[in-house]
Structure 1
Amino acid sequence: MTGWMTQPDPGLLDAADTALGKALAGRPLVTAERFGSSMRTLYAGPGPLARARPLAAIGCYPAWDAAAWPGAVLAAEDRTRVRGPVQRHAWMEEVDGEAAALLAALPAPPVVAAWYATGRLRRWAGPGGAVAAIDGRLRAVIEDKAAFDHLLEAAGVPQRMRIPALRVDGKLPALSELRRRVGTERLVVQAGADSGGRGTVFVDNDADLARAAAMPGPYKIAAFVAGWSSNTTVLSVPDENGSVAVYVDRPSHKAIGIAEAGIGPGKSAGNDWSRPWPAEAAADLVDASVRIATHLWAEHRMAGLFGLDTILTPDGRAVFNEINCRNQGTTEVSGVNQQLRGLPPFAAAHLTVLLGHRVVWLPAPEEFNADTIGVATTVGAGPFYLKLRHRGMTPVRLTGLRGSGVYRLGGAGGLLWVRPGLHPGQANADLGELLLANLPAEDVLCLPGAELGTAEALTTGPGTPFAAPHQLSGLGAAVLQALAAHLTPVSDPTSCEGTPS
């Protein structure tokens, strides 16, 4: 681990590990997420929690050697040997029967940790098993983009933190009418409860509006707001008074729509938690996050992890634009923020809460949230991740590397292996180090648009991968260029074993 990571108090770790053990009650823990290495921050970071180490992992991409454990890893990619946009959305169907059989053969009914609970996951867990995730139906209600402004109003979020917006339940009016009613030239139309930027269309002309109208309504039509996008992880924990204690993590700076990184409009290229926020905006964000979490508990009895997306405007205000009621793509790396403060990642409390048990190791929420404002507004070490995509138009293989681990940029334009690694805190970006996580094996065919993994590390600022809200830093661009040097084109992908016809 880098020098910024500190060893948590052993008594606190024991309390968290013991509580999680009681919540599991002898049932094996299984992860069901796209990345087979899911929850590695919990079991491989400073003060690892032994009971958070899954007995089995089911996903799209396999765990790498450093992430392996003496259990089962069922990854769709191990069967198809292909990585691409279709595969990352269809992995559950690919392993469906095998996953159910694997879990049925475990020594006890499992606890399946996932983003949100579905009928398929409940079937995998089987009789006596449990799915430790936000209920999918509740998630759809809370994440409904068209209802978001009403949620903010009901939670008592101040008007200054709400983007001018209107709801349309029927056919979208003409662009001129929408502009008049919202009050801006550029609009953002959102619908549904999808993730990863899906369900969001930026509207500058009639063709954009037609694309937005192709989504099933109802619609939220909001003013476009310039600035840094951001993600904040929030944890709510039921307390002894019938309410919830709310813990707000430090907000990120999230780069959006970076074409040179293969990231489309409205989609995230990654998050950086090392950049400081303005003090007033950070205090507003913490206060409003507590209001929202308290409302979700009172209205829906929703507790555990959720994420809030905001925009930090050029004049230093925070305005909300979305809620994600579940684990997120940020959950793995954002857990390092809690470890930098001597606590286990929030994910441990999330699992414990969802399994109906008490969380007894966290400090008072008022103390934690005051510290969050302090950490968020000062220069210091923070984690980041940069998404890696295959940006070309032809299939490739990733060659000349040693798999996931810690690398640095090489003099010849490629990447040089430094050491094994599993946790973002094992790489210091200020020294040129990066943890490349979830890379494909050399024999895996990577199709255009494929996820190649993530570049992760800690930085105090010089090592950030982002220079502006929609722009890579020099380091970020150099990482993508170095990775591209290891992409070997495949001239005849139809001849490759495992390639779909």
Structure 2
Amino acid sequence: MAYAAAYPVPAARPALSLGCYPAWDPARPGHTLAAETGTGVRGGGERKHTWWPSIERRAHGLVAGLGVDPVVSGWYAVPYLASLAGAGGQVAGLPVAVRDQVENKGELGRILRAAGVPWSMVIAARTYTGRLPELARLRREVGSHRLVVQAAHAAGGRGTVFVDDARDMERAAGLAGPWRVSAFVPGPSSNVTVLSVPDGCGGVRVYVDRPSHKAIGVAAVGIGAAKSAGNDWSVPWPAADVSAVVDAAVRVGVWAWETHRMTGLWGLDCIWSESGPVINEINARKQGTTEVSGVNQQLAGFPPLVTAHLAVQLGVTPTWLPAAEEFNTVTVAAASGGELGPYYLKVRARGAVRAREDFPGSGIYRLSGERLVWAHPGAHPAQADSDAGCVLIANAPEAGTACESGAELGTVEGLTRGPGSPFAGPGELSARGWALLGAFDQWFIVEEGTL
């Protein structure tokens, strides 16, 4: 995102990209190594999270061939990235130990209280170890008929179960304990990207991006319950509520710095209840929203926060950032004013499909009637004025690629002031969203199952 924009940051373009899916022009790094390249198959289910072993040997060879001590960027500093960096290199990511402590869902209530977050923003919850009590007891102790059971460490909704009955309890008991059991809070959800930067005087500056509107559990695009189907930053929130979220994020950022010396990118997830926003997760890492949320910073006249994250992880002060208070004031104004904003919609295969042989792949398309027509190469949502019918298809498979059921077929992205949004609410597509889905699906041939 930082190097494919209208005002690119050339230094942010990596020399080597490693992952599950191949990059594409004009976003392509110096070299790309993707798990699906050569196999012609894009995996579904948990296979999309197990790509590293298939490229590990080749990845080490490519890194060695760079002839320099590498900087390896990842969500956080997992051991295989440290191995890739080698003795002379560096991993630009939060330490796993910090991530495990800050992101521990069982400790969320204690963390929020220690950070000084108002009680009104803390969800009623209890943490259980050993085994989960019976449903009736959980309801009494948590004080809610509908419950949310979460594993202490999980991402992408894979460790969350909404509990309404005994069958749901069986699924919840299958999660790895300890378990956080909280009251279900009705209301739309959001992700917030946050950056913590040491101020050089023993403190920390906390920069808070616009809260998104998060779509959850949209079955039409193959996304299950508790899992994100995408985010939209174009829809406004009440200014007072945005200010409360920004203040809470700053408090958590200060606490994480003082307690764990946590710096760089992280995130806060909220539910916007009728009485105001409440916090349901802290994510001590880059997130699925990080890339597209960077467009918000570019719209405000700054490089994406990920560039400052890389600088901070390398011990460099990002001097291009303004004072945190100034940045956060802009955030509140933009998030409450209904300004132009980015969005992305995830699309997964709802059965086994194959990309058509004439599929152009990732790039800019124009919605024409019931079809998405290739327009030109592209890799940035700002190139796609969705209110005028243009979109970016990102992370799509190459022509002829077989995609298993559950495989990610790509994301539909763009900029909108509202009319171009694919979402009509927290869990449903808009008329535009349905049109985009139908047109996107035409680029794939059903091999078995049903779309």
TM, length-normalised to structure 1 = 0.87
Distance 1:211 1:173 in 2: 14
Could you say which residue in structure 1 is the equivalent of 2:258?
298
Distance 1:81 1:139 in 2: 35
CA RMSD of aligned residues (A): 1.4
Distance 2:76 2:233 in 1: 25
Distance 1:108 1:433 in 2: 41
Q: Which secondary structure does the structure 1 equivalent of 2:195 belong to?
A: strand
Cα-to-partner distance string for 1:212-262 (whole Å, 9 max, x where unaligned): 111121111101111111000011100022010111001000010111111
Distance 1:239 1:398 in 2: 52
Using a 3 Å threshold, how does the CA distance of structure 1 residues 328 and 184 change in structure 2: closer, same or farther?
Answer: same
Could you say which residue in structure 2 is the equivalent of 1:155?
115
1:85-484 mapped onto 2 (5 Å cutoff): 85=44, 86-313=46-273, 315=274, 317-392=276-351, 394-411=352-369, 413-484=370-441
Using a 3 Å threshold, how does the CA distance of structure 1 residues 430 and 123 change in structure 2: closer, same or farther?
Answer: same
Cα-to-partner distance string for 1:142-163 (whole Å, 9 max, x where unaligned): 1111111111111111110011
Using a 3 Å threshold, how does the CA distance of structure 1 residues 441 and 302 change in structure 2: closer, same or farther?
Answer: same
Letter in 2 for 1:222: S
Distance 1:223 1:338 in 2: 34
Instruction: Return 478-487 or 395-404, whichever deviates more.
Output: 395-404
Distance 1:102 1:453 in 2: 26
Using a 3 Å threshold, how does the CA distance of structure 1 residues 421 and 316 change in structure 2: closer, same or farther?
Answer: farther
Letter in 2 for 1:397: A
**Is 1:486 aligned to residue 429 of structure 2?**
no
Distance 2:146 2:359 in 1: 44
Fraction of identical pairs, as percent: 52
- Aligned length in residues: 448
Conserved? CA contact 2:359–2:398, under 8 Å: no
Please list every run of at least 4 consecutive aligned residues from structure 1 whose deviation after the TM superposition is greater than 4 angstroms.
none
Distance 1:479 1:376 in 2: 25
Letter in 2 for 1:298: E
Distance 1:240 1:323 in 2: 25
Letter in 2 for 1:401: F
Q: Which secondary structure does the structure 2 equivalent of 1:65 belong to?
A: coil
Conserved? CA contact 2:4–2:26, under 8 Å: no
Q: Which secondary structure does the structure 2 equivalent of 1:480 belong to?
A: helix
Instruction: State the 1:211 CA deviation.
Output: 1.2
Conserved? CA contact 1:139–1:326, under 8 Å: yes
Instruction: State the 1:400 CA deviation.
Output: 3.6
Distance 2:130 2:313 in 1: 37
**Is 1:77 aligned to residue 27 of structure 2?**
no
Distance 1:316 1:165 in 2: 18
Conserved? CA contact 1:398–1:440, under 8 Å: no
Letter in 2 for 1:355: L
Distance 1:215 1:127 in 2: 36
Distance 2:173 2:383 in 1: 46
Instruction: State the 1:279 CA deviation.
Output: 1.4
Instruction: State the 1:90 CA deviation.
Output: 1.5
Letter in 2 for 1:202: F
Instruction: State the 1:395 CA deviation.
Output: 3.6
Instruction: State the 1:198 CA deviation.
Output: 1.1
Letter in 1 for 2:418: G
Q: Which secondary structure does the structure 2 equivalent of 1:476 belong to?
A: helix
Cα-to-partner distance string for 1:416-471 (whole Å, 9 max, x where unaligned): 11221111100011001100011101121101111011001000011111111111
Conserved? CA contact 2:354–2:400, under 8 Å: no
Q: Which secondary structure does the structure 1 equivalent of 2:57 belong to?
A: helix
Q: Which secondary structure does the structure 2 equivalent of 1:274 belong to?
A: coil
Conserved? CA contact 1:337–1:383, under 8 Å: yes
Q: Which secondary structure does the structure 1 equivalent of 2:127 belong to?
A: strand
Instruction: State the 1:289 CA deviation.
Output: 0.4
Where in structure 1 are there 5+ consecutive unaligned residues? 1-40, 493-501
Cα-to-partner distance string for 1:176-228 (whole Å, 9 max, x where unaligned): 11111111110000013111101101000111112111112111110111111
Using a 3 Å threshold, how does the CA distance of structure 1 residues 294 and 478 change in structure 2: closer, same or farther?
Answer: same
Using a 3 Å threshold, how does the CA distance of structure 1 residues 431 and 316 change in structure 2: closer, same or farther?
Answer: farther
Distance 2:321 2:330 in 1: 13
Cα-to-partner distance string for 1:2-35 (whole Å, 9 max, x where unaligned): xxxxxxxxxxxxxxxxxxxxxxxxxxxxxxxxxx
Q: Which secondary structure does the structure 2 equivalent of 1:66 belong to?
A: coil
Cα-to-partner distance string for 1:118-164 (whole Å, 9 max, x where unaligned): 11111111220111111123212211111111111111111100111
Conserved? CA contact 1:401–1:417, under 8 Å: no
Conserved? CA contact 2:152–2:180, under 8 Å: no
Conserved? CA contact 1:399–1:488, under 8 Å: no
Instruction: State the 1:316 CA deviation.
Output: 5.5
Q: Which secondary structure does the structure 2 equivalent of 1:225 belong to?
A: coil
Conserved? CA contact 2:26–2:378, under 8 Å: yes
Letter in 1 for 2:37: D
Distance 2:375 2:442 in 1: 18
Using a 3 Å threshold, how does the CA distance of structure 1 residues 491 and 324 change in structure 2: closer, same or farther?
Answer: closer
